[in-house]
Amino acid sequence: MYRLEDYRQTVARFLGVLQRINPQLGDFNTALRGIIEESRKQIEIAVGGGDFTSTWSQILSDLEGVRGQILNQIQGSIPEEEFTVLFLIVRMMLKGGWIALTTALPVLAKECKKPENEVRESVRKLLEKGLLVNGISLPI
């Protein structure tokens, strides 16, 4: 199960990479922490038998809102497809460090619902922009 803390770590690392093209993106870490903290509180209340005042769809909507704001901030620097591929690579790397492109491509293609050649092209562009290091690893 993908936990809220895993998501926070992934986004924090993702923002660290994206700050190479837009240094102001670090500000989103604060918004993300707030959403996740509030979500944790709501879960603890619900587990304790209290009234859960948020819904999962509301929490997911808040998290998606942060994603949309980040995407808007970097618009013109990185297309949404590359954004998604990079996010997935960051998530994969947090689970296991360095990853081989041959291993990652089928997984990325499945997650993105895109052909491998399109995902490979996104990876190539991310490498050109310095957001990935050949191998695949992150530049931070």
Q: Which structural domain, as residue segments, surrounds residue 16?
A: 4-73
First-to-last C-alpha distance (Å) of the chain: 26
Same domain assignment for residues 56 and 98: no
44: Cβ–Cβ under 8 A, 6 or more apart, which residues?
Answer: none
* Amino acid at the residue 21: I
- Per-residue pLDDT for 119 more than 80? yes
Same domain assignment for residues 14 and 53: yes
Q: In whole angstroms, what is the distance from residue 85 CA to residue 5 CA? A: 20
Same domain assignment for residues 56 and 24: yes
pLDDT (tens digit per residue) in 70-117: 888 887 888 989 999 999 999 888 887 778 888 889 999 999 999 999
Q: In whole angstroms, what is the distance from residue 107 CA to residue 101 CA? A: 10
